[in-house]
Structure 1
Amino acid sequence: MAVGVTNGRHAADEEARAEVDVLNSRLEKTTQLTKKIQACLGRLDATGKSVRDVAGPLNGETKKLQVLGNNIEAVLAAIERLRQPADSKNDEEQIIRMGPDKAGLPNYLASIKRLNKAIGEMMASNLRSTQQTVAELQRLVKLGTTQLENSFDKLLRTETPRAIEPLHFITKNKPFPVLSQDKFARLGLMNSFVAGLYRQTGGAPQESPTAKIYIEIRSQYLSSALVNLATASTSTAKKKNADAIYRPGTNGIGTYAQAMEGLFVAEHENICNIFTREDWGPVFEATCQPSLLELGRTLRELNSHIKTHMTTDCFLAYEIVEIISELSNNLERRTGELKSSLGASLKPVRETAKSSLSELLEDTKRRVNSLQTLPTDGAPVPIVSETMQRLQTMVDFLRPISSIMISLGDGGWKSAAASRGGVSDAIPSLASFDIGADGKEIFAHYCTDTIEALMMSLDARARLLLQKKPVMGVFLANSVTIIERRIQTSELAPLLEPRLGVLETWRKKATSFYTETCKDVSVHLFDVIHTSRAAGGGGSGGGRPASGQGGAMVVDSASILKGLSSKDKENIKGKFAAFNASFDDMVLRHKSYNMEREVRQMFAKDMQNMIEPLYNRFWDRYHEVDKGKGKYVKYDKSAIAAVFLTLY
């Protein structure tokens, strides 16, 4: 059993050693294979490095050769292109020398564009061999551009008349002429090309050659069309009668402005059809500038005339303000231009118009204070009617006056410095001419200020020169009546009738002055005689009726006189005689005064109301003093009533 087991173990060990030997044999082969692989990789790496060292320079040279080849091809192509303009120069020169009219404008412009393009390409190549060709092509382009400008000039001059008569278009209500549509196209093409070249230099739009040509030709056309109207505006300012008040529309400024608007609007249409949008404003301003300078000169001359004749021609200033402001607003609405230029031209006249309001007030006071005498019969002086005539005339210019007064502020005319100051070049918009409540109220206030200043000056002068209250009363009442009549019979009525309280104050003052005489006359009708109660003929109450009873109580004159002493009767006779003398004198003087019809009636009524009731009472009591002989009692009640009727 032991021998068997031993043999078994020996066999297993042998088998294990055999397997180990096999594994070792395989491992040795793997190691050898690995070494061979490593050797092969080493050789392969060395070979690749050699290939890179050789192939790298070859690749770089190949790329350089490719770039060189491309450059050569580009140079050959450029040379070919550069040869083309030189080869076609004769063809282009032939077109240029024909001019735009013969060659045809599109073909002519295309030729210049091709020449400019060729010049650009040649200059970009910077090849010395092309410099002579470039110079020749530049001369051709310059010739072509010059001929294009000349053609623009010729065409525009041909289409522009030497002069037109603006009145023909104004009176017939026809639009002012513009250039024809086919000329717009040609002029626009030429300007577009020339201005495009000029714009590349960075110049101002109105400085391009075609713009300069246009401005020169068309500005002369506008100036020549307006010059006669400018002259007429100054000549019509000189009136045959220097003292006559200016009447609306009698100066030529309205026609002048109307023609200017029509011409300028037509010119703006021309410019919009020829020039690019960004050039419209500058070219339009420059074209109109000479005409605007002439307008400014005309307005300055008119302003000098107005300042010399302020009291009669200030209304021309108001009219100019409205006309030129309306012109400015219309042009701004239709063209968007010229507002500032027109504002600068109008500025002197606007300043005069503003200052006139305070100057007219001062002139009114000055003229009254310069009066050395006043009519002794109380007749009104011309300054009253003249002042009201001035206010009436102002209503005809209410729109511009309203805007001026609004800018001054209510009461601003009281300060001459304020009237002259704070004036800018800007022209008010159309809204400034709204004569609504504010404008009317301010103008009405100005009118009442003027009336008050007039009446105060007249009152002061009357106190100094007339002194006697009755004639002062007549003088002031006449003035008030004339003022009121002028208001009620004119366009001043709706403005000033609600403000007539200022006149009522002066009317009461005039009445108080005039009725001083009535007091002097009526003083003779106040008795201080005391009669006995029994003398009244019938008990209590005596013979004196209560004041105001009149016909409610029958007065017995004979009974009253019985109760008087001889001295009292003589006193009554004296009162009748004194009354008769003073009353007759008052009547005589009343009839001698120079009164307006309304004043005579007013004062006659006042006299009658003050004296007749007193006289009737006195007559009722004492008329029997002369037994009806009329020696002392000159008037009975019906007679004195008849006298009063003659005073109306």
Structure 2
Amino acid sequence: MVAQAHREEEAEVEVLNANLTKLNLLTKKIQGSIVRLDTSGQVVKEAIGPIYSNTQQLQITNTNILRVSEAIERLRQPLDAKGREEGVIRAGPATAGLQQYLGALQRVDHALTDLTSSNLRSNQQAIADFNKLLASGSSQLQDLFRQALQQDAQPVEPLHYITKGLEFPTIPDQELSQLKPTAAAITSAYTKSSRSAKRDENPAIRVYAEIRGPYLSNSLQNLATASINTSTKRGQDAGIYREGTSGIGAYANGLEGMITAEADNVSKIFPTSEVGQAIEATCQNAMAVFANTLMELNTFIKSRILTDCFLAFEIIDLVTPISYRLETRTGARLKSQFSDALRPIRETARSSVSELLEQTRQKASAVAVLPNDGNTVPLVSETMQRISTLSVYSQPLQAILSSIGDGKWRIALTPTLEPTTTPSAIDSTTLVSNYLTDFLDTLLANLETRAKAFHRSKSLQGCFLSNSYAIVERSIRSSPDLSRHLTSSPTHKASSLYLDAWKDPSSYLLDVQYTSRTSNPQGSSGGGNAANRPVSGSAIDSATIVKALSSKDRDKIKEKFKAFNSSFDEMVARHKSLYMEREVRSALSREVQALIEPLYARFWDRYHEVDKGKGKTVKYSKADLATLLIGLA
């Protein structure tokens, strides 16, 4: 069994060895076939490689040829456009029709863009031809644009629209619908046809300004002339300038209205980026005329600074807000043009704040004669009119005073564009109050000096100053603008001066009582001992008091009554002879009554029996005196 198993295993081993031998032989055959295949593949590769490379190159070449053919076709299209559109452009918009003409120009414009982007030298002549065609088309469009604008360029009368509250006329919408594409085509054609074309050389804006600019300036010319005539026609004897009497207000309003209307036109014709430039170019002539008008007015104002400097403040007050409003509404840089036009006027207004103070001081100091009746002088009313007029223009006055500095207006200023001092940090309203107070103090202080020098009588001095203060007070109360900046004037000083003159009659009514006969010095005028003095609160018995007096004291009392009568009558006559403003007479009469009546009543109560009712010494009863004093008012 074991031998048989061994033989079977040997037989299997022999079979395996035989199979392995066959596998080795097959492997060798495969390796030989691979070597032969590699050799054959290399031969094929070396043979086919050049053919494949040439095929790729041919494919690339074919693709390039197709692309060149397409490019040539595209290049031919713009060149073909020249032939198609040239006839339309040469015929002009009137013959071809505006829409067709604009379409032809647009297509030529696109063709020129394509030719320019190709950057081929062979296209240079074609590009030049297209530029000439566009230039020709642009020129014809400019003529058409000009003609269309001229249809609505007849000057208008701005005053008609201002007085009736009407909107200023604009170009009709139907015409605007044609002007807008025309302007766009002109700009595009010019930009393409001119290598040196710049933003500020837009021919559409230039044509628009050439037509609409004179329309503006011609329409406003009458207002400019009227502004000068209404301001300068006043004679040399004319008073202080009154607000609104110059035509400059209507001129400024007309200018604002027409520029606003023109901005509306421009915004509907030109793109937003060009609106400001178009407005500035169109308004250039009108602004130049406006600046010249202000220059002429400034010359006139400087020649009459005391009476007409207020016109300068009115101009500033009118024009400054207009410049801000127009720049906000239009987007154009007009504020600087208005500022340049206002510069001479502003300089004059700035110098006038010092000049007014100095001239007022000089005029007050130079008053040679004061009225003998205590009346004031015309300078007071004139100065208050100036101060009141100034207060109306508080806004421009605040700005000018702020640039000068608080109190610096007392120094004569040299007109200059820039502030000579650091702008004041004080509230602008306070600055105006300080200035107007200085203005008023300058007048009153110098008038008080003149009154003391000219009137020796204190009653005349007091009456003169009281009348002056009354006019000042009246002006302040009657002007809401002025009352915001000024308080009442110091009338108590004037009334005190006037009452000083009444001390003479009142001095005779003073009675000194002594506690004992021994304390009464020699020459005492109002004797009486403690026994004769009435108890406080008890009724005064004049007969008893007089009876207790010595004959010498009674004579002195009589002399006091007589002296009082004479002095009082003289003062009453003088009071009635003086000129007094209504409120002055009333106020001073009350002051006199408050001074004299209590003293006289007390003196009369004690000593009226010295006359025993005969009326020779005691001229006035208490009731008579009170009635007379009331009648002084």
TM-score by shorter chain over 0.5: yes
The equivalent position to 1:167 in structure 2, one of 121, 144, 159, is 159
Residue type of the alignment partner of 1:57: P
Q: How big is each residue's C-alpha offset from its partner over 1:281-300, in whole Å with a ceiling of 9 and x where there is no partner?
A: 11112211221222222223
Residue 456 of structure 1 corresponds to 445
The equivalent position to 2:271 in structure 1, one of 269, 276, 283, is 276
Residue 153 of structure 1 corresponds to 146
Q: How big is each residue's C-alpha offset from its partner over 1:247-273, in whole Å with a ceiling of 9 and x where there is no partner?
A: 222111121122212211221122111
The equivalent position to 2:93 in structure 1, one of 95, 100, 119, is 100
SS in structure 2 of the partner of residue 515 of structure 1 = helix
Residue 430 of structure 1 corresponds to none
Q: Does structure 1 residue 367 correspond to structure 2 residue 363?
A: yes
Q: Does structure 1 residue 226 correspond to structure 2 residue 220?
A: yes
CA distance in 1, matches of 2:568, 2:173: 92
CA distance in 1, matches of 2:361, 2:283: 45
Task: Assess, with a 3 A threshold, how the Cα gap between structure 1 residues 112 and 234 changes in structure 2: closer, same or farther.
Answer: same
Task: Assess, with a 3 A threshold, how the Cα gap between structure 1 residues 131 and 25 changes in structure 2: closer, same or farther.
Answer: same
- CA deviation after TM superposition for structure 1 residue 380, in Å: 0.9
Q: How big is each residue's C-alpha offset from its partner over 1:201-247, in whole Å with a ceiling of 9 and x where there is no partner?
A: 58543421212211222212212222221122122111424441222
Residue type of the alignment partner of 2:373: D
Residue 428 of structure 1 corresponds to none
**Contact 2:505/2:564 (<8 A) preserved:** yes
Residue type of the alignment partner of 1:29: K
SS in structure 1 of the partner of residue 475 of structure 2 = helix
Residue type of the alignment partner of 2:20: L
- CA deviation after TM superposition for structure 1 residue 99, in Å: 0.8
**Contact 1:544/1:621 (<8 A) preserved:** no
Alignment of 1:580-591 (within 5 A): 580-591=565-576
Residue 46 of structure 1 corresponds to 39
Alignment of 1:484-633 (within 5 A): 484-491=473-480, 495=484, 499-500=487-488, 503=489, 506-527=490-511, 541-545=530-534, 552-556=539-543, 560=546, 563-566=549-552, 568-622=553-607, 633=618
Task: Assess, with a 3 A threshold, how the Cα gap between structure 1 residues 9 and 275 changes in structure 2: closer, same or farther.
Answer: same
SS in structure 2 of the partner of residue 552 of structure 1 = coil
Q: How big is each residue's C-alpha offset from its partner over 1:590-646, in whole Å with a ceiling of 9 and x where there is no partner?
A: 333222233333333333433344345445555565766666555555555555455
- CA deviation after TM superposition for structure 1 residue 33, in Å: 1.0
**Contact 1:358/1:415 (<8 A) preserved:** yes
**Contact 1:92/1:111 (<8 A) preserved:** yes
Alignment of 1:250-329 (within 5 A): 250-329=245-324
Residue 424 of structure 2 corresponds to none
CA distance in 1, matches of 2:73, 2:121: 16
**Contact 1:299/1:346 (<8 A) preserved:** yes
**Contact 2:515/2:530 (<8 A) preserved:** no
**Contact 2:433/2:485 (<8 A) preserved:** yes
Q: Does structure 1 residue 180 correspond to structure 2 residue 172?
A: yes
**Contact 1:561/1:622 (<8 A) preserved:** no
Unaligned runs of 5+ in 2: 421-426, 518-527
Residue 185 of structure 2 corresponds to 193
Q: How big is each residue's C-alpha offset from its partner over 1:270-322, in whole Å with a ceiling of 9 and x where there is no partner?
A: 21111111111111122112212222222232233333323322332232223
Task: Assess, with a 3 A threshold, how the Cα gap between structure 1 residues 334 and 530 changes in structure 2: closer, same or farther.
Answer: closer
Task: Assess, with a 3 A threshold, how the Cα gap between structure 1 residues 570 and 78 changes in structure 2: closer, same or farther.
Answer: closer
CA distance in 2, matches of 1:517, 1:329: 60
Task: Assess, with a 3 A threshold, how the Cα gap between structure 1 residues 105 and 615 changes in structure 2: closer, same or farther.
Answer: closer
The equivalent position to 1:393 in structure 2, one of 389, 393, 417, is 389
Q: How big is each residue's C-alpha offset from its partner over 1:502-530, in whole Å with a ceiling of 9 and x where there is no partner?
A: x3xx3222222222222223333345687
Residue type of the alignment partner of 2:176: F
SS in structure 1 of the partner of residue 153 of structure 2 = coil
TM-score by length of 1: 0.82
SS in structure 2 of the partner of residue 594 of structure 1 = coil
CA distance in 2, matches of 1:60, 1:461: 122
**Contact 2:540/2:606 (<8 A) preserved:** no
Residue type of the alignment partner of 2:497: F
Unaligned runs of 5+ in 1: 1-7, 425-437, 534-538
- CA deviation after TM superposition for structure 1 residue 43, in Å: 1.0
SS in structure 1 of the partner of residue 232 of structure 2 = coil
CA distance in 2, matches of 1:135, 1:496: 74
CA distance in 1, matches of 2:177, 2:146: 15
CA distance in 2, matches of 1:23, 1:9: 21
CA distance in 2, matches of 1:120, 1:321: 52
CA distance in 2, matches of 1:110, 1:597: 86
Task: Assess, with a 3 A threshold, how the Cα gap between structure 1 residues 475 and 54 changes in structure 2: closer, same or farther.
Answer: same
Aligned residue pairs total 613
Task: Assess, with a 3 A threshold, how the Cα gap between structure 1 residues 161 and 188 changes in structure 2: closer, same or farther.
Answer: same
SS in structure 1 of the partner of residue 308 of structure 2 = helix
- CA deviation after TM superposition for structure 1 residue 39, in Å: 0.8
The equivalent position to 2:457 in structure 1, one of 450, 458, 468, is 468
CA distance in 1, matches of 2:595, 2:123: 121
**Contact 2:388/2:482 (<8 A) preserved:** no
Residue type of the alignment partner of 2:476: I
CA distance in 1, matches of 2:610, 2:119: 142
**Contact 1:532/1:563 (<8 A) preserved:** no
- CA deviation after TM superposition for structure 1 residue 167, in Å: 2.4
Residue type of the alignment partner of 1:175: E
CA distance in 1, matches of 2:144, 2:57: 56
Residue type of the alignment partner of 1:511: S
CA distance in 2, matches of 1:290, 1:199: 26
Q: How big is each residue's C-alpha offset from its partner over 1:397-451, in whole Å with a ceiling of 9 and x where there is no partner?
A: 4565566667778878667769978669xxxxxxxxxxxxx88776566554444
Task: Assess, with a 3 A threshold, how the Cα gap between structure 1 residues 419 and 556 changes in structure 2: closer, same or farther.
Answer: farther
Residue type of the alignment partner of 1:251: S
Q: Does structure 1 residue 26 correspond to structure 2 residue 19?
A: yes
CA distance in 2, matches of 1:151, 1:343: 37
Task: Assess, with a 3 A threshold, how the Cα gap between structure 1 residues 111 and 336 changes in structure 2: closer, same or farther.
Answer: closer
CA distance in 2, matches of 1:271, 1:147: 21
CA distance in 1, matches of 2:125, 2:476: 90
CA distance in 1, matches of 2:593, 2:112: 112
Greater Rg over alpha carbons, structure: 1
Which shifted more, 291-300 or 247-256? 291-300
SS in structure 2 of the partner of residue 222 of structure 1 = helix
Residue type of the alignment partner of 1:579: F
Q: Does structure 1 residue 69 correspond to structure 2 residue 62?
A: yes
CA distance in 1, matches of 2:116, 2:475: 87
**Contact 2:403/2:419 (<8 A) preserved:** no
SS in structure 2 of the partner of residue 218 of structure 1 = helix
**Contact 2:384/2:472 (<8 A) preserved:** yes
TM-score by length of 2: 0.84
